[in-house]
């Protein structure tokens, strides 16, 4: 189980997260939605301490960290319980696809190379990239690179995978392949927190939606409730804009 308690983050005087509470059960898929600048990315990056929260408590499994007094050891412990899929993939450019996936297993988890290789090939099969195992990231399309990113996260067998807009830097025709892969691993029971602007995708894969604005959770609940009958005025506005955008784009 994952618990975020009263997470606060400020940049100088600018308060970006104003006390966020979220509980994630094993196998949950949480989608975080909200307008640009509402703090979604910051929240996600606070969970693995790519940003240092000013206050709050993060519990993942048996690791409980008081953010204010987090030690280097605490930070490493949280990072070893989580994995992240980035908007810009962030693959290791000097390593092959297989090496990218193996890196965390051999270097961080100290797994023997043979075993790490087997697991990594299995993960590459899951994202449909076995045939690219020996390619370098620069030889792949954006969609393929992101699938490697997903395999790299998956290989670590983390308690939760954090996705930050995994498809928003992809060409439209490549979005589908990545969403399908994420959907498949969601169905296998992998716990995920997903920040996305793909509303249909959020509705289909998540079992819980969190709607954020200005560093606060405005509303949360089951996807069908949030999408069909939002309670808060701001949530209504937000979804209205999206339905409008959809109707324009057709």
Partner 1 sequence: MGKSFDIGLILDFIPKLLGYVHVTFLILAGAILIGIVIGFLVALPRLYRIPVLAQIAAVYVSFIRGTPILIQLFLIYYGLPELLKLVSIDISQWSSMFFVIVTYGLSIGGLFSEVIRAAVTSVERGQTEAAYSIGMSPFVAFIRIVLPQSFAIALPNLANLIIAYMKDTSLAFSIGVMDMTGRGQTLGTTTSHFLEVYISLAVIYYLVCILLESIFSRMEKRVSRYERKFG
What long-range pairs does 177-183 form, CB within 8 A, spacing at least 24?
177/128, 177/143, 177/147, 178/143, 178/146, 178/147, 178/150, 181/126, 181/127, 181/128, 181/147, 181/150, 182/150
Query: CA distances (Å), 30 to each of 170, 187, 225, in order?
Result: 22, 13, 14
Eight-state DSSP code of residue 137:
G
Q: What is the per-residue burial (b if ≥16 Cβ within 10 Å, else e) of 62-74?
A: ebebebeebeeeb
Binding mask 142-181 for partner 1 (x = CB under 8 A): -------x--xx--x-----x-------------------
Query: Segment 38-77, which members bind partner 1 (CB under 8 A)?
Result: 48, 50, 72, 76
For 110, the token pair is 């100290």
Closer residue to ligand ATP (CB): 168 or 243: 168
Answer positive or negative: Cα dihedral of 120, 125, 127, 129. Answer: positive
Minimum distance of partner 1 from residue 158's CB (angstroms): 9
- Binding residues vs ligand ATP (CB under 6 A): 11, 14, 16, 34, 36-42
* Residue 79 in contact with partner 1, rule: CB under 8 A: yes
Residue 34 beta carbon to ligand ATP: minimum distance, rounded to whole angstroms: 6
Which part of the chain contacts partner 1 (CB under 8 A), choosing from 5-13, 103-111, 187-195, 221-229?
Answer: 103-111
Contact 213, 35 (CB under 8 A): yes
Binding at 73: pick from ligand ATP, partner 1, Mg ion, none (beta carbon under 5-8 Å per type): none
Give how far Cα 120 sits from Cα of 10, 90, 98, 180, 203, Å. Answer: 38, 18, 7, 19, 30
Q: Closer to partner 1 by CB, 6 or 87: give it.
A: 87
**Residue 99 Cβ, how far from ligand ATP at the closest point, in Å?**
30
User: 145 or 235: whose CB is closer to partner 1?
Assistant: 145
Q: Does 113 bind partner 1 (CB under 8 A)?
A: no
Q: Which does 37 bind (CB under 5 to 8 A by kind): Mg ion, partner 1, ligand ATP, none?
A: ligand ATP
Binding residues for Mg ion (CB under 5 A):
41
């Amino acid at each position: 189980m994952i618990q975020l308690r009263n997470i606060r983050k400020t940049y100088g005087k600018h308060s970006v997260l104003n006390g966020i509470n979220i509980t994630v059960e094993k196998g949950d898929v949480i989608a975080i939605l909200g307008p640009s600048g509402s703090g979604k990315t910051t929240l996600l990056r606070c969970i693995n301490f790519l940003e240092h929260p000013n206050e709050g408590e993060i519990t993942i499994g048996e690791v409980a960290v008081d953010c204010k007094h987090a030690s280097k050891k605490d930070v490493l412990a949280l990072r070893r319980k989580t994995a992240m899929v980035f908007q810009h993939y962030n693959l290791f450019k000097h390593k092959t696809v297989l090496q990218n996936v193996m890196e965390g297993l051999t270097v961080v988890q100290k797994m023997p190379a043979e075993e790490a290789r087997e697991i990594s090939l299995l993960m590459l099969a899951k994202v449909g990239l076995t045939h690219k195992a020996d390619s370098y990231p620069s030889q792949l399309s954006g969609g393929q690179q992101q699938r490697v990113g997903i395999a790299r996260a998956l290989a670590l067998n983390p308690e939760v995978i954090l996705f930050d807009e995994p498809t928003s830097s992809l060409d439209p025709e490549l979005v589908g392949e990545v969403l399908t892969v994420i959907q498949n691993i969601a169905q296998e029971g992998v716990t995920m927190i997903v920040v996305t602007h793909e509303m249909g995708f959020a509705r289909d894969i998540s079992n819980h939606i969190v709607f954020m604005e200005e560093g606060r959770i405005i509303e949360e609940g089951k996807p069908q409730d949030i999408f069909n009958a939002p309670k808060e005025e701001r949530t209504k506005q937000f979804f209205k804009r999206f339905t409008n955008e959809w109707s324009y784009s057709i």
